Chain A
Amino acid sequence: TPLGPASSLPQSFLLKCLEQVRKIQADGADLQERLCTTHKLCHPEELVLLGHSLGIPQASLSSCSSQTLQLTGCLRQLHGGLFLFQGLLQALAGISPELAPTLDILQLDVTDFATNIWLQMEDLGVAPAVQPTQGPMPTFTSAFQRRAGGVLVASKLQSFLELAYRVLRYLAEP
Chain B
Amino acid sequence: QCGHISLSAPIVRLGDPITASCIISQNCSHLDSESHIVWKLEAELQPGERQQYLPNGTLQSTITLPHLNRSRALLSCCLHWGNSLQILDQAELQAGYPPATPHNLSCLMNLTTNSLTCQWEPGPNNHLSTNFTLKSFRSRGNCQSQEDSIPDCVPEDGQSHCSIPRKHLQLYQNMGIWVQAKNALGTSVSPKLCLVPMDVVKLEPPTLWALGPSPELAPPQPGCLRLRWETWKPSLHIDQKCELRHQPRLGEASWDLVGALPSRTLQYELCRLRPSTAYALQMRCTRWRLPGHWSNWSPSLELTTTQR
A interface vs B, CB < 8 Å? 11-12, 15-16, 18-20, 22-23, 25-26, 104-105, 108-109, 111-113, 115-116, 119
Using Cβ atoms and an 8 Å threshold, which residues of chain A touch B308? none
Residue of B140, B167, B290 near A119 (CB, 8 A) is B140
Known A15-B290, A19-B290; judge A115-B173 contact (CB<8 A): yes
Using Cβ atoms and an 8 Å threshold, which residues of chain A touch B238? 19, 22
Using Cβ atoms and an 8 Å threshold, which residues of chain B touch A111? 170
Question: Interface residues of A: mostly helix, strand, loop or mixed?
Answer: helix
Known A12-B290, A19-B290, A115-B173; judge A108-B236 contact (CB<8 A): no
CA distance A11 to B114 in the complex (A): 26
| 11 sampled A-B residue pairs with Cβ under 8 A | A11-B289, A15-B289, A16-B198, A16-B290, A18-B239, A19-B237, A23-B237, A112-B171, A112-B172, A112-B173, A113-B172
Q: Closest Cβ of chain A: how far from B124's Cβ, in Å?
A: 39
Range for the number of chain B residues in contact with chain A: 10 to 19
Q: Which residue of A lies closest to B171 (CB)?
A: A112
The answer to whether B172 and A108 touch across the interface, beta carbons within 8 angstroms, is: no
Using Cβ atoms and an 8 Å threshold, which residues of chain B touch A15? 239, 289-290
The reply on B293 being an interface residue by CB < 8 A is no
The reply on B40 being an interface residue by CB < 8 A is no
Known A15-B289, A19-B237, A22-B237; judge A116-B167 contact (CB<8 A): no
Q: Closest Cβ of chain A: how far from B291's Cβ, in Å?
A: 9
Question: Interface residues of B: mostly helix, strand, loop or mixed?
Answer: loop
What 15 additional pairs, Cβ within 8 angstroms, besides A104-B167, A108-B166?
A12-B290, A16-B290, A18-B239, A19-B198, A19-B238, A19-B239, A19-B290, A20-B172, A22-B236, A22-B238, A26-B237, A112-B170, A112-B172, A113-B172, A115-B172
Q: Closest Cβ of chain A: how far from B99's Cβ, in Å?
A: 34
Q: Which residue of A lies closest to B168 (CB)?
A: A108
CA distance A12 to B291 in the complex (A): 10
The 3 lowest CB-CB distance pairs between A and B, nearest first, are: A22-B237, A23-B237, A116-B172
The answer to whether B173 and A119 touch across the interface, beta carbons within 8 angstroms, is: yes
Known A19-B198, A19-B239; judge A108-B173 contact (CB<8 A): no
Q: Closest Cβ of chain B: how far from A35's Cβ, in Å?
A: 20
Chain B 145-182 residues near chain A, CB threshold 8 A: 166-167, 169-173
Residue of B114, B167, B172 near A16 (CB, 8 A) is B172
CA distance A53 to B114 in the complex (A): 37
The answer to whether A116 and B173 touch across the interface, beta carbons within 8 angstroms, is: yes
Chain B 287-303 residues near chain A, CB threshold 8 A: 289-290
Using Cβ atoms and an 8 Å threshold, which residues of chain B touch A18? 239
Q: Closest Cβ of chain A: how far from B194's Cβ, in Å?
A: 16
CA distance A105 to B166 in the complex (A): 8
Chain B 101-146 residues near chain A, CB threshold 8 A: 114, 140
The answer to whether B114 and A105 touch across the interface, beta carbons within 8 angstroms, is: yes
The answer to whether A108 and B237 touch across the interface, beta carbons within 8 angstroms, is: no
CA distance A23 to B114 in the complex (A): 13
CA distance A144 to B258 in the complex (A): 53
CA distance A104 to B198 in the complex (A): 18
Known A108-B166, A115-B170, A116-B172; judge A25-B289 contact (CB<8 A): no
Q: Closest Cβ of chain A: how far from B171's Cβ, in Å?
A: 5
Using Cβ atoms and an 8 Å threshold, which residues of chain B touch A119? 140, 173
Interface digits, B260-296 against A, CB 8 Å rule (1 contact, 0 not)?
A: 0000000000000000000000000000011000000
